[in-house]
Amino acid sequence: PNYNNDPEMKNLMENFSKQAQQRFNEYDEHMNEKLQKCKEQCEKDIQNIILKDKIEKELTEKLSALQTDISINNIPTCICEKSVADKMEKNCLKCGGIIGTAVPELALLGGVSTHMLTTAATYAAIEAGMREVVSHIKEFLTNFNEYLVDLTPIVNESNYNCGTALFEAANKAVSTSCLTTKPGIISPLCSAIKTTGKNTFNNYAQYGSAAYNEKLNAEMVGVTSFNNAMMASIIAIVVIVLVMVIIYLILRYRRKKKMKKKLQYIKLLNQ
Pairwise pLDDT comparison (222 vs 137), residue with the higher score: 137
CA dihedral 206, 208, 213, 216 (to 10 degrees): -170
Query: 162 burial class (0-12, 13-18, 19+ CB within 10 angstroms)?
Result: middle
User: CA of 264: how far to CAs of 64, 74, 261, 269, in Å?
Assistant: 13, 12, 5, 9
Pairwise pLDDT comparison (204 vs 177), residue with the higher score: 204
160 near 200, Cβ under 8 Å?
A: no
Largest CA distance in the chain: 199
For 73-119, what is each residue's pLDDT tens digit? 554 444 444 555 555 556 655 665 555 555 566 566 666 777 788 88
Mean pLDDT of the chain: 75
For the ranges 115-129, 165-179, 231-245, the maximum mean pLDDT occurs at 115-129
Residue 70 pLDDT level (bands cut at 50, 70, 90): very low
Q: How many Å apart are CA 134 and CA 124, to the nearest integer? A: 15
Pairwise pLDDT comparison (146 vs 249), residue with the higher score: 249
Is residue 204 predicted with pLDDT exceeding 80?
A: yes
DSSP 18-59: HHHHHHHHHHHHHHHHHHHHHHHHHHHHHHHHHHHHHHHHHH
Q: How many Å apart are CA 223 and CA 160, to the nearest integer? A: 24
For 234-271, what is each residue's pLDDT tens digit? 787 777 777 777 887 887 788 788 788 777 777 766 65
Average pLDDT over residues 226-238: 77
Residue 206 pLDDT level (bands cut at 50, 70, 90): very high
Residue 202 pLDDT level (bands cut at 50, 70, 90): very high
Is residue 199 predicted with pLDDT exceeding 80?
A: yes
For 23-41, what is each residue's pLDDT tens digit? 767 777 777 787 788 778 7
DSSP 212-241: HHHHHHHHHHHHHHHHHHHHHHHHHHHHHH
What pLDDT, on the 0 to 100 scale, is given for residue 211? 93
What pLDDT, on the 0 to 100 scale, is given for residue 90? 60
| DSSP tally for the chain: helices H, then strands E | 4, 0
Average pLDDT over residues 193-198: 85
Average pLDDT over residues 165-174: 88
Query: 76 burial class (0-12, 13-18, 19+ CB within 10 angstroms)?
Result: middle
Average pLDDT over residues 55-60: 76
Percent of the chain with pLDDT over 70: 70
Residue 210 pLDDT level (bands cut at 50, 70, 90): very high
